[in-house]
Amino acid sequence: MSEVKVSEGGRVVIPVELRHRYGFRVGDTLFWRETPEGPVLLSRSAGIRRAQTIAARYKKAGKSVVDELIAERRAEAARE
């Protein structure tokens, strides 16, 4: 666990060892996610991996979720 201080303007410096470990670079956009335990910072790539993990729960074996969505949209359009 690393200790950091909040400076004026709400700035927090991420310790160098954590920046290296997680690949945070100058100018990167980080995402703040709130959890019951407290805030979590995610890089864009970590956020994408998290979204893919969540989406994978809804994937059906042997079926394309995209194809299903397109078929549903076409059926809706045909009914209109």
Smallest CA-to-CA distance from 69 within 58, 57, 80 is with 58
- 46-53 LR contacts (CB < 8 Å, sep 24+): 46/22
Dig out the tokens for 52 from the structure. Answer: 């893919």
Q: Does the pLDDT value for residue 43 go beyond 80?
A: yes
Predicted structure pTM score: 0.56
Q: What is the pLDDT of residue 44?
A: 87
- Give residue 72's pLDDT band: very low, low, confident or very high (50, 70, 90): very high
Integer Cα distance of 15 and 52 in angstroms: 28
- 34: helix, coil or strand? strand
* Mean pLDDT, all residues of the chain: 89
